[in-house]
Structure 1
Amino acid sequence: MLRSLAGGLGWILPRFRLPVRIVAVLALVSMAVLALGSPEAYAKPVAASIIVDAETGEVLSRSNADTLTYPASLTKMMTLYMLFDAIDSGKVSLTDKITFSANAAGEPATNLNAKPGYTIQVETAILALVIRSANDVATAVGEHLGGSEKEFARMMTAKARALGMKNTTFRNAHGLPNADQRTTARDMAVLGVALLRDHPDYYDYFSRSKFSYRGVSYATHNRVLRKFTGADGMKTGYIRASGFNLVTSAHRDGRRLVGVVLGGSSAASRDKHMIDLMAKAFKIQQGTGDVLVAKAPGSAGPAKAIAVAAAAPAAQPATYDDSVAVAALAPVVKPATQEELDDLDTATTLAAMTSVSLASAQAKPDDQAVANVWDGQDRFYGVQVGAYSKYNPAQKAAQKATATVPNLLADARIVIDQSKTGNGGSLYRARVFGLTKDAAEDACVALKKKRTDCLVIQGDSNVAQTAQ
């Protein structure tokens, strides 16, 4: 065991020249992380759902609706709510420009690959949050509205409480892993209804399926828009601790429903579960006897805006283009510098160097049977379809691969792996992870028939830590 551990830490020692006391503690902490890091050591994400009538606030179905879990990129729904508030109050306009700070530009994928100093128009930022689920944009918006990411998270939490989201706490604007960032299916439904009720003028953005920024076109992650008649919004989300999340709003026969599904084992199964729940809910007239939030402002008796939205024809999603990938990108981990490591405590140092988050590994959202969303080691395979000197060509190559073999790769995870070259440049490897070994091999066979170079590779569970 110790020999294996030493081998695993071998790459760290020459690179960072850590003090002996740190190395000793690292060995002990690493053994704990290794124990926690196995597929059997992760708590299974909370499986929860709720379907509500947006006009009456009546709960039509629910399961684990009040169990705490992680919002992932559903967080961006609150970021958008705050941005809509700011637009309505005159603090910002749709044509204003938001500048990416170094902090915002450094957020991992899914992102727009923005550089410090880049700007983005507010309206484009809205589309980037809804469609691309861009983490760098979320942070830039938060900093623009709150002055700092920390202050904006405080503002988000205060707004959540005011809306009746009593079990929700925000720690960032994007939804990337944070052990203290929690929510419930019920609270996400409250937020979905609040967006409809308080900001109906902006709801159309949630039905869009494409947008462009700096010459690059991006497509939506939300496939339910084209799979379920009447669906016209809202948002997807994913991190490993939460599983695959989705909030959907749909209009049929004069009724508008809002549904939440959390903890899906895959994007496809999450979407199917949502479609099944919504289809059943539209057929029933009487719910559980529960209301969305008792005594919350505008919850059980929504404002006129909900009725107006429910009466309006469902927005028609833009034509879907399968040539653009809809999978999220996993984060590109940047090695910590020695100066940064010196400022960190031992546990954080380990996490920075090994890309293992102790907080994430220890988080147990409920008492369900332990499992990993990738169903164990058999799904830690992927394919590599090229290596490039720039990020964008690598991204496009991976996107093209997922579109070329959609039956195998459409629900996998795009990963752009960055490494330094000898001349000081970078090499970007275009990869798609989250496959079984057989699926990866089959994908390569299919891609090679399409004259695309392909290599089967084996990764690990950390490739799944991203927000979509």
Structure 2
Amino acid sequence: MVWGSVSGQRGRIAALAMAVGAAATVLVASASPADAARRKRASGGYNPPYAAMVVDVKTGRTLHAVNEDALRHPASVTKVMTLYLLFEQLERGRYQLDTPLAVSARAAGMAPSKLGLRAGSTIDVEDAILALVTKSANDAAATIAENVAGSETAFADLMTRRARQLGMSRTVFRNASGLPNPQQVTTARDLTILARAIQDRFPKYYKYFQTRQFEFAGRVHGNHNRLLGRVEGVDGIKTGFVRASGFNLMTNAKTDDRHIVAVVLGGRSGAHRDGIVTNLVETLLPRAYAGARQTAPILVAGDQTPVPARPAVVAEAPKETPKEAPRARADVNVETTATTTPVPQARPKAPLDLNAMRPAVASAAGGSTTTPGSGPALRWNQGPAGTPASASAFASADSAALPLPAAHAARAEAPRPATVVAKAEPKAETKPEPARAAASAWVIQLGAVDDEGKAKEMLEAAKSRSGRTLAKASPFTEKVTRDGSTLFRARFSGFSEADDAQDACRTLKRNGFNCFATRS
């Protein structure tokens, strides 16, 4: 009797469940399209525009690319450029890691994510760095911008200028945090350049991107990058999200002498994005080149941006002794024959017209990069090909001045680093070699390195990957001395028109090389 009772009860429950299921089916079938759309959104229908790119750091070769040149919103990946500019100030000695940064009411009022900084308070430079790396704090980002440049708008203009100088040709910044702004755009390709540049320029400070957690004002903030410590080789660098962008991640991975950077933009969720990046790293890192690096570092040549004086109330205080002394400025000499001729300082050009840079976000996919076949064998020429008078739009010859804080204190010119890459230098007083100048109105430069053999290897690699683009171009090296240091420019001559030289540079950039075109 007991068993029969239980069995009958189970039968009634099963029948009831079937009835409820049938009723639910009827309700779903009769729901309006609007209800269906709401359910789709609730169940994960969010599908932002996607883009991705993976680059082998040692060769510059593209390992993976999807929509890599399509415009996207960077979101908080923006903060990598914010930190790039702050690291410049640290290197020059303008700031120390314990220098207090004043928090304005505007910065304190930034939308989350934020530390909760109070207007009128201060935050040390190192804490601000860690706040951006881990918490992705927008109030800290705005504080950095206002202290460095006087206003966030002025700082964003400087970010865009620096992006151009690094070769990020399609990126425009409007703020230091990545908070929503329809005009703040970038591409996956541009962000792979930034990921490499910040490591090349600031290996000492790059370590901050490996920080797992950060304690501030009694609270512990974890890093938003969930791949740290979970995916072999991953050591940074930055996540980002706004509704218009989707879930973004700039990643660096190194292991077994291999090194890649990966950028994924437009993940549907953090987990979706992380899964894509994990798969890319685990698949492509073992395929990366394991030999010596073949590409030159991505640097802003000359680093000539004048550093604005600190606001007057701060500047009157005794000058602190920098932890790292700024490098002394040096005159550049170009070796022509047996003598050297000093090169005069170039006059700065007019600032970039940033109002003209207002691209609309494109949804069209950019084509993936392929590697053409090898070109003809190289013949080497060493000697001057005409010192450039100015750089092309691909690598602006000037570093426009940092906007001044409200105090409008006098600017002081920053020292130049010893190594220059893909950047025009001031024109020498001596005339270019007549025969070469007549044969080649324009030349392109890939970079300048401290060994002639490396310069030749760079030219060989460029020619082999450029197919017919450089078939008629003549590779040559040019020896340059700077304060006792010797550099070798890697250049191609043989371009009669500016468009030809610039087209060649575009091809080289698509294949991972730095490049600028200039008159011979």
Q: TM-score, normalised by structure 2?
A: 0.48
1 CA distance for matches of 2:179 and 2:271?
A: 21
- Cα distance change on mapping 1:116 and 1:247 into 2, 3 Å: same
Amino acid of the structure 1 residue aligned with 2:276: H
- Cα distance change on mapping 1:299 and 1:105 into 2, 3 Å: farther
User: Over residues 346-371 of structure 1, what are the superposed CA-to-partner deviations in whole Å (9 max), with x where a residue is unaligned?
Assistant: xxxxxxxxxxxxxxxxx864159xxx
Question: 1:286: how far off?
Answer: 7.3
Q: Percent identity?
A: 44
Question: 1:103: how far off?
Answer: 0.4
- Cα distance change on mapping 1:127 and 1:205 into 2, 3 Å: same
Is the 8 Å Cα contact of residues 55 and 302 (structure 1) preserved in structure 2?
no
Question: 1:53: how far off?
Answer: 1.4
User: Over residues 247-291 of structure 1, what are the superposed CA-to-partner deviations in whole Å (9 max), with x where a residue is unaligned?
Assistant: 11011111111110100000001001001111111232479xxxx
Residue from 48, 55, 66 that aligns with 2:51:
48
Choose between structure 1 and 2 for higher RCO, CA contacts under 8 A separated by at least 6 residues: 1
- The ranges of structure 1 where at least 4 consecutive aligned residues each deviate by more than 4 angstroms after the TM superposition are none
1:122 matched to which residue of 2? 125
Please identify which structure carries the higher helix content: 1
Amino acid of the structure 1 residue aligned with 2:149: G
1:400 matched to which residue of 2? none
2 CA distance for matches of 1:132 and 1:141?
A: 15
Question: 1:169: how far off?
Answer: 0.1
Q: Secondary structure at the match of 2:237?
A: strand
Q: Secondary structure at the match of 2:70?
A: coil
Question: 1:216: how far off?
Answer: 1.3
Residue from 56, 59, 62 that aligns with 2:62:
59
Residue from 140, 144, 153 that aligns with 2:143:
140
Residue from 88, 91, 104 that aligns with 1:101:
104
Q: Secondary structure at the match of 1:217?
A: strand
1 CA distance for matches of 2:202 and 2:286?
A: 28
2 CA distance for matches of 1:133 and 1:74?
A: 9
2 CA distance for matches of 1:89 and 1:220?
A: 28
Is the 8 Å Cα contact of residues 45 and 365 (structure 1) preserved in structure 2?
no
1 CA distance for matches of 2:147 and 2:207?
A: 23
Residue from 89, 107, 116 that aligns with 1:113:
116
Question: 1:81: how far off?
Answer: 0.3
Question: 1:118: how far off?
Answer: 1.6
Is the 8 Å Cα contact of residues 45 and 69 (structure 1) preserved in structure 2?
no
Q: TM-score, normalised by structure 1?
A: 0.53
2:476 matched to which residue of 1? none
1 CA distance for matches of 2:101 and 2:91?
A: 17
Is the 8 Å Cα contact of residues 260 and 288 (structure 2) preserved in structure 1?
no
- Cα distance change on mapping 1:183 and 1:43 into 2, 3 Å: farther
Is the 8 Å Cα contact of residues 70 and 187 (structure 2) preserved in structure 1?
yes
Is the 8 Å Cα contact of residues 107 and 142 (structure 2) preserved in structure 1?
yes
1 CA distance for matches of 2:215 and 2:59?
A: 37
Is the 8 Å Cα contact of residues 57 and 301 (structure 1) preserved in structure 2?
no
Question: 1:54: how far off?
Answer: 1.7
1 CA distance for matches of 2:289 and 2:208?
A: 31
2 CA distance for matches of 1:58 and 1:68?
A: 21
1:221 matched to which residue of 2? 224
Is the 8 Å Cα contact of residues 138 and 173 (structure 1) preserved in structure 2?
yes
1:207 matched to which residue of 2? 210
1:32 matched to which residue of 2? none
Q: Secondary structure at the match of 2:229?
A: helix
Q: Secondary structure at the match of 2:250?
A: strand
Is the 8 Å Cα contact of residues 105 and 119 (structure 2) preserved in structure 1?
yes
1:343 matched to which residue of 2? none
- Cα distance change on mapping 1:153 and 1:364 into 2, 3 Å: closer
1 CA distance for matches of 2:180 and 2:362?
A: 13
Question: 1:43: how far off?
Answer: 9.5
> What RMSD in Å do the two structures reach over aligned CA positions?
2.6
1 CA distance for matches of 2:73 and 2:298?
A: 29
1:416 matched to which residue of 2? none
Q: Secondary structure at the match of 2:134?
A: helix
1:173 matched to which residue of 2? 176
Is the 8 Å Cα contact of residues 51 and 68 (structure 2) preserved in structure 1?
yes
Is the 8 Å Cα contact of residues 164 and 190 (structure 1) preserved in structure 2?
yes
Residue from 80, 90, 93 that aligns with 1:90:
93
Q: Secondary structure at the match of 1:226?
A: coil
2 CA distance for matches of 1:65 and 1:196?
A: 21
2:451 matched to which residue of 1? none
2 CA distance for matches of 1:146 and 1:99?
A: 13
Is the 8 Å Cα contact of residues 46 and 67 (structure 1) preserved in structure 2?
no
For 1:396-407, what aligned pairs fall within 5 Å after superposition? none
1 CA distance for matches of 2:288 and 2:125?
A: 40
Is the 8 Å Cα contact of residues 155 and 176 (structure 2) preserved in structure 1?
yes
- Cα distance change on mapping 1:299 and 1:193 into 2, 3 Å: farther
1 CA distance for matches of 2:239 and 2:232?
A: 18
Amino acid of the structure 2 residue aligned with 1:91: R
User: Over residues 295-314 of structure 1, what are the superposed CA-to-partner deviations in whole Å (9 max), with x where a residue is unaligned?
Assistant: xxx9942269xxxxxxxxxx
Aligned residues: 263
For 1:43-442, what aligned pairs fall within 5 Å after superposition? 44-285=47-288, 300-302=295-297, 365-366=362-363
- Cα distance change on mapping 1:44 and 1:299 into 2, 3 Å: farther
- Bigger-Rg structure (1/2): 2
